[in-house]
Amino acid sequence: MATRPLGVEVPGVAMALRRPGPWTTLVRFCRKKPLGAIGGAIMVFMVVTGVFANQLATHDPIATDATQSLARPGPEHWLGSDHLGRDIYSRIVHGARVSLIVGIASTLLGSVLGGLIGLLSGYTGGRTDLITQRVMDILQGLPLLVLALVMSASLGPSIPNVVVAISIPIIPRAARVIRSSVLSIREMQYVEAARAVGLRHLRIAFRHVLPNTVGPFIVLCTAQLGSAILVEAALSFLGLGVPEPYPSWGRMLSVSAAEYAQKAPWLVLFPGLAISLAVFGSNLLGDALRDTLDPRLRGA
Amino acid sequence: MGRSRRIAVTLLLALIAMLAAAASAPAQPKYGGHLNLMQREDLPQGFAVHESSTISTSFPSMPCFNNLVIFDQSKRAETVDNLVGELAEKWSWQDNYRNLVFFLRKNVKWHDGQPFSSKDVKFTFDMLREAPDAAAKLRINPRKDWYSNVEAVEAPDPSTVVFRLKRPQPGFLVMLASGYTPIYAAHVNPASYRTGCIGTGPFKVKEWRKGEYVDYVKNPDYFIKGRPYLDSLRYVVIKERGTRTAALQAGQLDVSFPGETTKTASEQLKKAVPGLVITPVGTAVNDNIIINTKKPPFDNPKVRLAVSYAIDRRALITAVHQGGAVPGASQPPKPYGVWGLLEKDLLALPGYGKPEDMKAQARKLLADAGITAQNPLRVEMSTRAIAIYVDMASFVINELKQVGIEASLKQVETAQWHPLATRGDYQIGANLTGLGVDEPDANFNENYACGSPRNYSQYCSEEVMKLIEQQSQELNPQKRMQLVSTLQKKVEADAARPVLDWRLDYFTMWPYVKGLVPHDTIYNFGRMADVWRDK
Amino acid sequence: MKTYIAQRLGVGALTLFGMSIVIFGMLRLAPGDIVDILFATGGYVNPSERAAIEKELGLDRPVTVQYVEWVRQILTGDLGKSYRYDLPAWEIIRPLIPVTLELAALSLIVSVLLGVPLGVISAVRQDTTLDYALRVFSLAGLSMPSFWLGMVIILGLVAWFGWIPPVTYVAPSENLPLHLVQFALPALAVGYRSSALIMRITRSSLLEVMREDYIRTARAKGQSGRVVIWRHALQNAILPVVTVIGIEFAFLIGGLVVTETVFNLPGVARFLVEAILWRDYPIVQNLVMFIAIVVILSNLFVDMLYGFLDPRVRYGH
């Protein structure tokens, strides 16, 4: 709700001084950026599906049923079933949970770690900054998928390991974005003022600089989320991602799907559409957020 | 009828008979042409068959090599009656199956022009059995145990080889017919087979593009005149299953890879290309459960037996293979194998009866060990991180859950599977085992003998060892069959490594491929000398 | 100018050195090595045989010694031997490089040919239905897993036409039309994805430039609208696009890995995955370093191109 207006009743000014409530902001955002709104809706839909997977699923996602092998989409199996008779719809619904958890966790882990590194590196400057940047360059120079592959092979198949493996390539990218944002903020008047007053650096960094990187950080997260989901899918497809029995959209597309695809195209269609939809939603949302929160970063 | 009429009718009938005979007679083989086959991965160790245990090495290497003897490539069944000589013209057992004499062909040449002689045979087998005075050593020697009974290999003259065995072993001859028993050349370093192939076989290696394909070209000096029919072969590496199937369907590949085509895939292929020739055959590959007999809780034989009872074999075949597998014990079942148990014996084994009865029996056995639904057993089931293993493991976990064993799945990467299994670093595991040849000596010594590196369960039974020795020396075929049956029943009763099913392969070929007959094992065919193209 | 290049190369060398340590360490973090895999193909394990092979391959030496030996080899131009194939690594990798480079180049061409025009149209018709439609189309490309796109293409082709592009590499000298067909589909699959980013950049930088005063002035002066756009705006909008192309090249590698696998093209990326799974250290290490060098050089090239196109930027970095 709007805050109380000033005592003086000055038409126009009072309206301008009232901070818009969250609901208004949301509505304005939807109106101004319809694509972004759609993206947001998709993401919300995915998250809700993941959270309520147990309720939304019609079958146990890992229960096999030989009599239902490769069943067509129909009343019994809404999106058909795979060669072991597992219900595709239920697996996709549970897969949302897995893919989103892995995607969000790895994005957050990578972005937060990278963001912290970027924050401290950008704020401190000097030699520390130089060295940190070189280290980040090193990590970034290694192709994303290759890095995740090697990490995954090193750590072994398990969900926490996959999260770590995917987060590592995100760290340098996050560090770079946050650092450049920090660099521009650092020179601003109020930071100089804070330093003049004698506040300790760490305090300045966290209290004053950090909140202003929130915008770029959010943009970064939504941008990386799509990429994280795709990397997880690719890793699972190659056999190094999320292990059984957790249903993973990427793994649903490997081996068996390709083999039976002509008899049962739904094996290939639906998991792929699910992945595409999730990434699409996060990209739409990310784009819109970027346009709203930080027009300078457009196209970065 | 008038005489002239009778003659006319006779002539007409004769004409019809001749035409019928001509129409039904097999087409004459044509010379020339190229065949495209596939590999699911690049050769792991090149053509070094003796340093490898995988069909990824043996099948693409078949055209390069010859054995002393081999299973008739034109017949599906692999029995001792179907043996034909390759480098050996004649052979005979002497001294009551104690000495095996081979009379070798003359005028056989290696691909580099050097003459073949008994020296090469002695070289190969001395190396395989790691004789103290062997001229060469293998870096990896997976089948050393096959030759543990060989006392000496003698080459009294360039065309004769004598195997002197320590004790009679009628099964020894069959083991020499496997795709895993080719003859190496004595005049080359065995390590050279990892990068190239000097053999005596119908085809010579023209080029091996790493990761891409192996090209073979006809061997003009092959010792069978008039063979091979084809001019060239290419084994293409395609890792992606979907792409492989699509390539076969689109005609870019002419033949499927042994053991790679499931029932459902073959139905799909047939629907898309009705002309494809699909032959269901055995593979000699079985699904089994390895159980660590040295650690609790599975050191208790009752608990192990409960596991075997809990798994409904027929349901597994339907659920995991969509019907593309058959039940059997430790030897390949009839009609795919010679030593399979009789139907009535098989049905008496755990896991074959009515599912409810079997599960009830399992629960009873577990209750004796203190495991109930209120006090379940929690274990970790290990398996390789490959789809075919994982599908099977998932089903088994489901079955075990119903009797009170809560198993969680642990996937192990290929590189770590064997060390983990050999170390005993697991409780229970879902495993696949391929038999190089349908011969109890090879099978039981590898998988059930005390101390064998592939006896992952570390199962050791004196009674079983005695039985293995006994059947190995038994000269009477019926008596030997009985001993092998007893052996199979005993190991299933001890449940150290319960066998779940034997996989089938729906071998697929385009109709113009003639002369290629898949066998009931995947390892022992593919010499390609008699294969020709009708188009 | 020369100092700038020297400086960049120096920094690049330092980065490469750091990367060499990282890739070397990470590989050895992965449990299991080539010897384990060899025994896995043998189907058993034997400790003494294992020790012998380790010694033969030099894996029994301390890790630091192995690293120094590797660096020394690279500096003398020796790329070592593949553990798996027992052949010089360079001999195995060399024929793969042109395939990947060609695929990467074709994909980039596709992405530029697709992305730039779409970006221009989208910018000119900003906020219309066409703009939204194009943006959605472009974003869809960014959202689809590239391996899925490849799979769907192959399966669709074989189901509807009974035909797929050749599964063995067809060299341009053998059969140029077939070679182009073989590369067209994978290039489209990868290029569609990259085109999204290029389209987005083109659109946004064009929008920014279009707001500039001088454009408005030029239009006020009455020059034809289209000429205005194409001459002034595009020239200036080119800069960020060139940068992105450079960045995209590095991103391409990930898409190339799965595309080469699905379309069975014998390239560097597909081979790299195999080598990782096989713990073929010399191949993985050298290939990754090679990719890194290419990326660093291409970044330098792009930056210089940037500097050439925009004199304001020449010496800052």
C231 residue type, one letter: R
Contact A253/A237 with Cβ under 8 angstroms? yes
B97 residue type, one letter: Y
Band the pLDDT of A2: cuts 50, 70, 90.
very low
User: Lowest mean pLDDT: which of B16-30, B312-326, B471-485?
Assistant: B16-30
**pLDDT tens sequence across C258-273:** 888 888 899 988 888 8
Nearest alpha carbon to residue B362 among B304, B407, B313: B304
**pLDDT tens sequence across B55-111:** 999 999 999 999 999 999 999 999 999 999 999 999 999 998 999 999 999 999 999
A208 residue type, one letter: H
User: Lowest mean pLDDT: which of A15-24, A48-57, A152-161, B201-210?
Assistant: A15-24
Average pLDDT of the residues in C189-204? 82
Bigger pLDDT: B158 vs C154: B158
Residues 225-254 of C with CB under 8 A from A: 240, 244, 250-251, 253-254
pLDDT at B143: 92
pLDDT at C237: 63
- Any chains having at least 3 CB pairs less than 8 A from chain A are B, C
Sign of CA dihedral B461, B464, B469, B470: positive
SS (H, E, C) B292-357: CCCCCCCCCHHHHHHHHHHCCHHHHHHHHHCCCEECCCCCCCCCCCCCCCCHHHHHCCCCCCCHHH
Query: In this structure, what token pair is assigned to residue B21?
Result: 């005979």
Average pLDDT of the residues in B329-334? 94
Band the pLDDT of A190: cuts 50, 70, 90.
low
Q: In whole angstroms, give the CA distance from residue B480 to residue A58.
A: 55
Q: In whole angstroms, give the CA distance from residue B84 to residue B73.
A: 9
pLDDT at A135: 80
User: Tokens 């699409």 — which residue?
Assistant: A280
Residue A170 three-state SS:
helix
pLDDT at B419: 85
**pLDDT tens sequence across B516-533:** 999 999 999 999 999 999
Band the pLDDT of A75: cuts 50, 70, 90.
confident
Bigger pLDDT: C241 vs B368: B368
Q: In whole angstroms, give the CA distance from residue B243 to residue C150.
A: 10
Long-range contacts of C217-226 (CB under 8 A, 24+ apart): none
Q: In whole angstroms, give the CA distance from residue A137 to residue A94.
A: 37
pLDDT at C239: 65
Average pLDDT of the residues in A120-136? 80
> Is the model's pLDDT at C90 over the cut of 90?
no
Q: Which residues contact A222 (CB under 8 A, 6 or more apart)?
A: A282, A283, A285, A286, A289, A290
Band the pLDDT of B487: cuts 50, 70, 90.
very high
CB pairs under 8 A between A and C: 138
Residue C173 Cα, gap to closest chain A Cα (Å): 31
> Is the model's pLDDT at A243 over the cut of 90?
no
Q: In whole angstroms, give the CA distance from residue B520 to residue B284.
A: 7
**pLDDT tens sequence across B114-133:** 999 999 999 999 999 999 99
Tell me the H-state helices in chain A.
13-17, 22-32, 34-51, 53-56, 88-124, 126-141, 144-155, 159-186, 189-197, 201-203, 210-212, 214-238, 249-252, 256-260, 266-293
pLDDT at C32: 79
Of B268, B391, B395, the CB nearest to A263: B268
CA atoms within 13 A on the CB side of B25: 9
pLDDT at B17: 73
Band the pLDDT of B292: cuts 50, 70, 90.
very high
Of B249, B264, B319, the CB nearest to A64: B319
Q: Which residues of B touch C181 (CB under 8 A)?
A: none
Bigger pLDDT: A193 vs A278: A278
> Is the model's pLDDT at A76 over the cut of 50?
yes
Left, alpha or beta for A137 (phi > 0: left; psi -120 to 50: alpha)? alpha
Q: Do C148 and A276 touch (CB under 8 A)?
A: yes
Crossing angle, helix C234-263 and helix C268-277, to 10 degrees? 50
Residues 130-159 of C with CB under 8 A from A: 132, 135-136, 139-140, 142-148, 151-152, 155, 158-159
Q: In whole angstroms, give the CA distance from residue A161 to residue B482.
A: 52
Bigger pLDDT: B23 vs B343: B343
Band the pLDDT of A202: cuts 50, 70, 90.
low
Residue A152 Cα, gap to closest chain C Cα (Å): 8
Count the neighbouring beta carbons within 10 Å of the beta carbon of residue A9. 8
Q: What is the mean pLDDT of chain C?
A: 81
Q: Do C263 and B243 touch (CB under 8 A)?
A: yes
Q: What is the mean pLDDT of chain B?
A: 92
> Is the model's pLDDT at C53 over the cut of 70?
yes
Average pLDDT of the residues in B234-253? 90
Average pLDDT of the residues in B280-291? 95
> Is the model's pLDDT at B374 over the cut of 50?
yes
Residues 233-252 of C with CB under 8 A from B: none
How far apart, in Å, do the first and last CA atoms of chain A sit? 35
Sign of CA dihedral A277, A279, A285, A287: negative
pLDDT at B14: 75
User: Tokens 């929130």 — which residue?
Assistant: A214
Of A141, A257, A275, the CB nearest to C295: A141
Distance (Å) of CA A162 to CA A53, A201, B173, B389: 21, 36, 51, 21
Residue A248 Cα, gap to closest chain B Cα (Å): 14
Residues 75-94 of C with CB under 8 A from B: 84-87, 92
> Is the model's pLDDT at A147 over the cut of 80?
no
pLDDT at C218: 64
C28 residue type, one letter: R
Partners of residue B412 on adjacent β-strands? B384
Count the neighbouring beta carbons within 10 Å of the beta carbon of residue A15. 10
Distance (Å) of CA B260 to CA B285, B375, B388, C262: 11, 42, 11, 18
Tell me the H-state helices in chain C.
2-29, 34-42, 47-57, 63-75, 89-93, 96-124, 129-143, 146-160, 176-210, 213-220, 225-228, 234-263, 268-277, 281-309
Nearest alpha carbon to residue B339 among B520, B460, B462, B148: B520
Average pLDDT of the residues in C8-23? 83
Nearest alpha carbon to residue C274 among C253, C260, C289, C295: C260
Partners of residue B94 on adjacent β-strands? B99
Of A244, A245, A260, the CB nearest to B268: A260
Q: Which residues of A touch C204 (CB under 8 A)?
A: 298-299
Bigger pLDDT: C208 vs C55: C55
Band the pLDDT of C61: cuts 50, 70, 90.
confident
> Is the model's pLDDT at B327 over the cut of 90?
yes
Contact A274/A92 with Cβ under 8 angstroms? yes
Q: Which residues contact B363 (CB under 8 A, 6 or more apart)?
A: B306, B372, B403, B404
Q: Which helix (H) or strand (E) holds B246?
A: helix B241-249
**pLDDT tens sequence across C221-265:** 666 666 665 666 666 666 666 666 666 666 677 678 888 888 889
Residue B2 three-state SS:
coil
**pLDDT tens sequence across A219-240:** 778 878 888 888 888 888 777 7
Q: In whole angstroms, give the CA distance from residue B386 to residue C181.
A: 33
Residues 250-309 of C with CB under 8 A from B: 261-264, 266, 270-271, 274, 277, 279
Query: What percent of chain B is predicted at pLDDT more than 70?
Result: 98
Bigger pLDDT: A150 vs C35: C35
Q: Which residues of A touch B268 (CB under 8 A)?
A: 260, 262-263
- Any chains having at least 3 CB pairs less than 8 A from chain C are A, B
Query: What percent of chain C is predicted at pLDDT more than 70?
Result: 82
Query: In this structure, what token pair is assigned to residue A44?
Result: 């919300």
Residue B154 three-state SS:
strand
Q: What is the mean pLDDT of chain A?
A: 78
Q: Do B387 and A255 touch (CB under 8 A)?
A: yes
pTM attached to this predicted model = 0.87
**pLDDT tens sequence across A257-282:** 777 887 888 888 899 999 999 999 98
Residues 67-126 of C with CB under 8 A from A: none
- Any chains having at least 3 CB pairs less than 8 A from chain B are A, C
CB-count burial class (<10 Å; 0-12, 13-18, 19+) for A73: middle
